[in-house]
Structure 1
Amino acid sequence: MKRTWLLGFGFFSISITWALYNAFVPLFLEHYVQSIAVVGFLMTIDNYFALFLQPWIGNRSDRTRTRYGRRIPFLLIGMPFAAIFTAIIPFHTGLFTLLLFMILMNLSMSLYRSPTVALMPDITPENGRTKANGIINFMGGVGSIIAFGVGSMLYNVHQSAPFIAASIVTLICLLVVSRSIKEERDGVNLQTETSIVNKKPRISLKSQLDRTTVFLLTAIFFWFVAYQGVETLFTLYGKNHLGLSEGDAVFSLAFFSVAFVLFAIPSGFMGKRFGKKKMIVIGICGLFVVFALVTFVKDLLMLRVVLLIGGMFWACININSYPFIISTGKEESIGTRTGLYYLVSSLAAISSPPLLGQMIDSFGYSILFYCASASMLVALAFMLMVRQGNEPLDIADRGISN
């Protein structure tokens, strides 16, 4: 359990960087382009690189063997570069340099995001992964709270301050994770890994796409379409539709993150007790209602209350989805399935902001949360087609023995 908390620092750095990126970079882009659809597209152009890199990196890390382990080398390369390019984003001199720094930062993060996530099941027994995912996402949620809360205050001091702070945090987190997690010592499947090395298997992406996995990945895609679109465009929604200041719009997102953090660990325990699929379905239904309600909210206090409730339902989804996708495969495919998980989330990140931005250009800002609600409804339809019987770890998760 101690190792899980220490690994959480990796998620902490990822979350704080992404939250700042999604909150403030659209404000930079707004100075150069007028169309919200174009802003949405430019916020996703970097994900085209992540789209191809992350599944390949995850698959590659499954077959990497070094004296540092199979995942840690990717962190040692990617995190320092990500820290550098994050720090220089606010020092852009025009649209070209802004896009260049954005792309380089996201390429760097693509090098270590999947391996960082795959470390959790590597060092955690099968029946403890849902709880462990709750812990590391708790750490990630704390990162988002700091990004939205402290980041908004630092931004008011100088627009570069939150990005520089995030870079320093990334380097500190790299030091913590690399010094505290030793894969050879902490891995729970060392015997399995040894046989993998001896057999040198080729784990193809196609071999992982069974019926259950395809339906689950499709559901993941649609709920990330809703989430990514809202997260990316919310600051513009708050500023231009609700009349909030940039700082208040960003700070309002902290309420969503606070609820996510507070409910992250309980969601993991409930996923173990009642089943991951059931918790995900509850979360989807709840977030569908929350997104529908936001459209009618004009008061800042009520907006933050609704976002607080939404964060709880997002925890039900996000905490249980990764262990669910891992549970449908074999141990030697953890990195590959992690890559598939981030493949569909990257697809959502690519398609959602420009699509929803175009809808805003055509119909106004109020359409944002209608579209998000509709996307959650589609995710629910596919999630209901996922067969619970294909989740082999559920029996172990509930503590039932044959």
Structure 2
Amino acid sequence: MHTPTPTRWGSARATTPTVQTRNGALQELYPISSKQFFMHQAPQGRFPVARTILLGAMFMGMGMTLPIFNHFVPIFLREIGLSATLITFVLTWDNYINMFMQPIVGQLSDNTRTRIGRRKPWVLVGAPIALTAFLFVPMATTAWGIMLAIFLTNFGNALFRSPGVALIGDLYPPQQRSLANGIINLMLGVGAALAYSGGGTLYGEFGRYAPFIFGSSVMAFALLVAFFFVHEPQRPLYEPEEHEAGLLESVRTLIRARNFNLLWMLGAILSWFMGFTALEALLSLIGKEALGIPPDQMGNLVALLPAAFILCAVPSGILATRFGRKRIILVGIAGLVGVLLYGYFVQSWLMMVGFLIPAGMFWALINVNSLPALYDTAPTLRAGIITGLYYFASNLSAVLGPQLAGVLVDLTGDNYRNVFLYGAFFMALAGICMSQVRVR
């Protein structure tokens, strides 16, 4: 994956923003002050670092709740006596709704018109719902109570996730979006590592409520950043990229296309996410049930996985540019199969370190290059369709992967080690599918 290099910094100067219309003419939007201009539109050729850091802080804060959720909720559900099958069902059932809801919310935000912009109202409504419901997760003492808190948390997340991502298209010209997205994703990875390590430490020191108070507090900080510092234009400054297509439109296009190369690639994406999302959902229980590692210590260990991913994300794109995406993805798949098989025999926290670091490295080789490789398999389809198919496959696997792994654990006598074998099987299946894909 090629990341564009930012051009040389120029001198700051307040101007009236314009947008290029379809006939090529420049149309004035509205005059803005130099302070507003700092957040709206950088001078010609200048990459807006400050704006990107503020957006990244917003996304990082709002994204830190998910690692805390994934790590501690399975433990809470286990403590009230649920089986692995029911645990994974409670964790993932609401994602069926989110698969349909997020594209709809994204399209609704396109047509929203308010004094503070199109996207920010959705962020300012969704984030408070999510952070408030998130606080109630550790307070619930029944499966139904936890399910309700989870649903409301993810409902709030679904309200702001798509509009929040759309801000990148509104605020950056096309040649800067890859770099902006890369920086924001880097900050998301840092946030995940902090959530695991900080949440684990707080759990050990102060109990089950502390990680969730921490996550909600950070999300509240992100909400303040969004409200006071992310100044959204009433109309986009740049022509936006093509929007993600809805689920039904994407599936209809897939059936009509009869592109077997695309089908093999989607099969690979579905398979490797089936394996990896199951591992993510059950890692805390693997540590507690199979290895006897307390949740607070396991949280600090799991932070090594996103940390390794962060370090290898940019090199993964560079290697794919040099040697080809298919080859690098296959290296990542082969590495993860081997690491997952090793994970089955892990007996101590030190051996777990030897699993988590290479797992994050090999996952970066796959994940960073998966969407660009999917684009390569169907260059004639519009980008929105491809993106819709990608998120459909990844979201479907995020539901099915953990649920099937939970069934396997129950069928094998509560043996959580079998999640490693489950992951290795689906990674190997992904390798078979990927070997049939014809891309560089």
Tell me the CA shift for residue 11 of structure 1. 3.6
1:92 aligns with 2:140: yes
Q: 321-330 vs 227-236, which deviates more? A: 321-330
Partners in 2 of 1:274 and 1:64 — Cα distance? Answer: 42
Which residue of the partner structure matches residue 96 of structure 2? Answer: 48
What does 1:126-141 align with in structure 2 at a 5 Å threshold?
131-141=179-189
1:381 aligns with 2:426: no
SS in structure 1 at match of 2:64 = helix
Q: For residues 275-324 of structure 1, what are the alpha-carbon distances to aligned partners after superposition, in whole Å with 9 as ceiling and x for unaligned?
A: 54443333222222211111122131121122111111112222233455
Q: For residues 42-88 of structure 1, what are the alpha-carbon distances to aligned partners after superposition, in whole Å with 9 as ceiling and x for unaligned?
A: 11112121122124334555x53535555444323222211111122
Structure 2 length normalisation: TM-score? 0.76
Which residue of the partner structure matches residue 255 of structure 1? Answer: 304
Which residue of the partner structure matches residue 219 of structure 1? Answer: 268
* Bigger proportion of residues as helix: 1
1:286 aligns with 2:347: no
Which residue identity does 1:243 align to in structure 2?
A: G
Tell me the CA shift for residue 26 of structure 1. 0.7
Which residue identity does 1:25 align to in structure 2?
A: V
Cα contact 1:114–1:342 (8 A) shared by 2: no
Which residue identity does 2:250 align to in structure 1?
A: L
Cα contact 1:55–1:340 (8 A) shared by 2: no
Name segments (4+ residues, structure 1) moved above 6 Å. 329-332
**Which structure's relative contact order is higher, taking Cα pairs within 8 Å and 6+ residues apart?**
1
Cα contact 1:57–1:115 (8 A) shared by 2: yes
Which residue of the partner structure matches residue 200 of structure 1? Answer: none
Which residue of the partner structure matches residue 360 of structure 1? Answer: 409
For structure 2, the residue ranges without an aligned partner over 5 or more in a row are 1-46
What does 1:319-358 align with in structure 2 at a 5 Å threshold?
319-325=368-374, 334=384, 337-358=386-407
Identity %: 36
Cα contact 1:359–1:367 (8 A) shared by 2: yes
Q: 2:250 aligns with which of 205, 209, 222?
A: 205
Cα contact 1:135–1:265 (8 A) shared by 2: no
Which residue identity does 1:342 align to in structure 2?
A: Y
Which residue of the partner structure matches residue 396 of structure 1? Answer: none
Query: Rg larger in 1 or in 2?
Result: 2
Q: 2:359 aligns with which of 310, 317, 320?
A: 310
Partners in 2 of 1:7 and 1:324 — Cα distance? Answer: 27
Which residue identity does 1:66 align to in structure 2?
A: R
Tell me the CA shift for residue 8 of structure 1. 2.4
Tell me the CA shift for residue 388 of structure 1. 2.4
Q: For residues 201-247 of structure 1, what are the alpha-carbon distances to aligned partners after superposition, in whole Å with 9 as ceiling and x for unaligned?
A: xx933465343544333322211111111111111111111111122
Which residue identity does 2:187 align to in structure 1?
A: M
Which residue of the partner structure matches residue 394 of structure 1? Answer: none
Partners in 1 of 2:253 and 2:173 — Cα distance? Answer: 21
Partners in 2 of 1:94 and 1:216 — Cα distance? Answer: 41
Tell me the CA shift for residue 118 of structure 1. 4.3
Tell me the CA shift for residue 18 of structure 1. 0.9
CA 1:126 to 1:268, structure 2 compared with 1: closer, same or farther past 3 Å?
A: farther
Partners in 1 of 2:315 and 2:354 — Cα distance? Answer: 20
Which residue identity does 2:111 align to in structure 1?
A: T
Cα contact 2:312–2:361 (8 A) shared by 1: yes
Q: 136-145 vs 320-329, which deviates more? A: 320-329
Q: 1:372 aligns with which of 423, 430, 439?
A: 423
CA RMSD of aligned residues (A): 3.2
1:245 aligns with 2:290: no
Length, aligned pairs only: 380
Q: 1:160 aligns with which of 209, 220, 223?
A: 209
Q: 341-350 vs 63-72, which deviates more? A: 63-72
Tell me the CA shift for residue 371 of structure 1. 0.8
Which residue of the partner structure matches residue 66 of structure 1? Answer: 113
SS in structure 1 at match of 2:283 = helix
Which residue identity does 2:363 align to in structure 1?
A: W
Which residue of the partner structure matches residue 232 of structure 1? Answer: 281
Partners in 2 of 1:127 and 1:274 — Cα distance? Answer: 23
Partners in 2 of 1:11 and 1:331 — Cα distance? Answer: 30
CA 1:348 to 1:125, structure 2 compared with 1: closer, same or farther past 3 Å?
A: same
CA 1:300 to 1:273, structure 2 compared with 1: closer, same or farther past 3 Å?
A: same
Which residue identity does 1:182 align to in structure 2?
A: E
Partners in 1 of 2:357 and 2:150 — Cα distance? Answer: 30
Which residue of the partner structure matches residue 151 of structure 1? Answer: 199
Which residue identity does 1:299 align to in structure 2?
A: S
Cα contact 1:329–1:337 (8 A) shared by 2: no
SS in structure 1 at match of 2:138 = helix
SS in structure 2 at match of 1:43 = helix
SS in structure 2 at match of 1:115 = helix
Structure 1 length normalisation: TM-score? 0.83
Partners in 2 of 1:120 and 1:322 — Cα distance? Answer: 17
1:172 aligns with 2:217: no
Cα contact 2:325–2:439 (8 A) shared by 1: no
Cα contact 2:85–2:410 (8 A) shared by 1: yes
Which residue of the partner structure matches residue 313 of structure 2? Answer: 264
Q: For residues 91-112 of structure 1, what are the alpha-carbon distances to aligned partners after superposition, in whole Å with 9 as ceiling and x for unaligned?
A: 1142222111111111211222
Tell me the CA shift for residue 385 of structure 1. 3.3
Which residue of the partner structure matches residue 160 of structure 2? Answer: 112
